[in-house]
């Protein structure tokens, strides 16, 4: 896991994305690729060239944003490069993710004018198969050497997340595998712990039987009570249609998690 793709855009979540991406890149000894997206406006009807004017303003803001951030990156101890692109946010990221090991976005930005990061994360997980690191807006940094909590349900998505996260988990001082209720798959939390042990990673298995509340809500409580620094989980284990109709653990976590999420599908 050496190639970190960072969404760059002048919005409320940018600072959190940048700080966490820098921590990931340093910890993994990787390379940071900054993708600065000028977002195409979505306007019904182009009255008096409004689309062109809005896009020009957007590009000017992102140009100024690039100048500021490049000055900062000159003083960071990571290698990096920069690409400017214009288009729809999730499609631009997906197009540039073919050689990315991890994509850093926000888990959600709670302002009307900001892009819907929950939708962006969903599209990336389904279209690229590249793991996503979804960062909460207030996150000042990431403790890569802290406590990693792995949400385990025995699904293929959970297995994909565990395998993809192994290089990052190798940096953690503490790893916990948490199993809520009774999993409906053959691979147990013990199997996940055994997989990690073969990578010389020791973990603790936590079982929470008889979960009565929503699993997403329960996971949030467990992560908070156990002082986890980030959560590894399979994202959108069901179809996007089912997730849209019935909610789902991924949606709950993307909406409310106070810690970063490592998601794979």
pLDDT at 50: 62
Same domain, 164 and 77: no
Number of separate domains in the chain: 2
Closest among 160, 136, 163, 166 to 148, alpha carbons compared: 166
DSSP conformation class of 62: H
Q: Quick: pLDDT tens for 6-56.
A: 999 998 889 999 999 999 999 999 999 999 999 876 655 555 566 677 778
pLDDT at 241: 42
As a whole number, mean pLDDT of residues 255-263 equals 94
Same domain, 174 and 229: yes
Range of the structural domain that residue 21 is part of: 3-135
pLDDT at 119: 82
Same domain, 122 and 10: yes
Q: Which of 86, 113, 135 represents a domain boundary (last residue)? A: 135
pLDDT exceeds cutoff 50 at 246: no
pLDDT at 49: 60
pLDDT exceeds cutoff 60 at 206: yes
Which are the contacts of 1, defined by CB distance < 8 A and separation ≥ 6? Answer: 28, 30, 101, 102, 164, 167, 168
pLDDT at 3: 98
Domain CATH number, residue 112: 3.40.50.620
Same domain, 259 and 168: yes
pLDDT at 110: 54
Question: 102 vs 61, which has greater pLDDT?
Answer: 102
Q: Which of 109, 135, 161 represents a domain boundary (last residue)? A: 135
pLDDT at 12: 86
In a domain, residue 222? The reply is yes
Same domain, 120 and 62: yes
Q: Which of 110, 135, 160 represents a domain boundary (last residue)? A: 135
Same domain, 104 and 159: no
Same domain, 257 and 161: yes
Same domain, 10 and 107: yes
What's the pLDDT band for 238 if we cut at 50, 70, 90? low
Same domain, 33 and 107: yes
Same domain, 75 and 173: no
Q: Quick: pLDDT tens for 139-191.
A: 789 999 999 999 999 989 999 999 999 999 999 999 999 998 776 667 899 99
Question: 221 vs 240, which has greater pLDDT?
Answer: 221
Most confident of 159-173, 198-212, 240-254: 159-173
Same domain, 122 and 169: no
Radius of gyration of the chain (CA): 19
In a domain, residue 140? The reply is no
Q: Quick: pLDDT tens for 91-150.
A: 999 999 999 999 999 987 655 456 677 788 888 988 888 999 999 988 789 999 999 999
What's the pLDDT band for 245 if we cut at 50, 70, 90? very low
Same domain, 109 and 176: no
Taking the C-alpha atoms of residue 158 and residue 170, their distance in angstroms, rounded to an integer, is 18
pLDDT at 57: 86
Which are the contacts of 22, defined by CB distance < 8 A and separation ≥ 6? Answer: 32, 76, 78
């Amino acid at each position: 896991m050496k190639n970190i793709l960072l969404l760059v855009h002048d919005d409320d979540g940018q600072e959190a994305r940048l700080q966490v991406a820098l921590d990931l890149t340093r910890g993994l000894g990787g390379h940071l690729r900054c993708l600065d997206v000028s977002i195409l406006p979505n306007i019904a009807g182009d009255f008096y060239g409004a689309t062109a004017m809005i896009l020009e303003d957007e590009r000017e803001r992102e140009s100024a944003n690039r100048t500021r951030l490049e000055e900062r990156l000159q003083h960071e101890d990571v290698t990096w490069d920069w690409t400017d692109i214009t288009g729809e946010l999730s499609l631009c990221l997906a197009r540039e993710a073919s050689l990315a090991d991890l994509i850093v976005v926000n888990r959600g930005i709670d302002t009307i004018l900001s892009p819907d990061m929950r939708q962006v994360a969903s599209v990336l997980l389904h279209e690229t198969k590249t793991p996503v690191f979804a960062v909460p807006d207030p996150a000042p940094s990431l403790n890569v050497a802290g406590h990693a909590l792995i949400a385990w349900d025995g699904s293929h998505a959970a297995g994909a997340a565990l395998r993809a996260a192994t290089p990052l988990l190798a940096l953690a001082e503490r790893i916990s595998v948490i199993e809520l209720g009774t999993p409906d798959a053959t691979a147990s939390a013990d199997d996940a712990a055994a997989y990690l042990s073969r990578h010389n990673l020791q973990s603790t298995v936590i079982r929470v039987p008889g979960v009565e509340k929503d699993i997403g809500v329960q996971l949030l409580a467990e992560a908070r009570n156990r002082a986890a620094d980030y959560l590894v989980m399979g994202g959108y284990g069901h179809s996007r249609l089912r997730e849209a109709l019935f909610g789902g653990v991924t949606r709950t976590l993307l909406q409310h998690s106070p810690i970063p999420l490592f998601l794979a599908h």
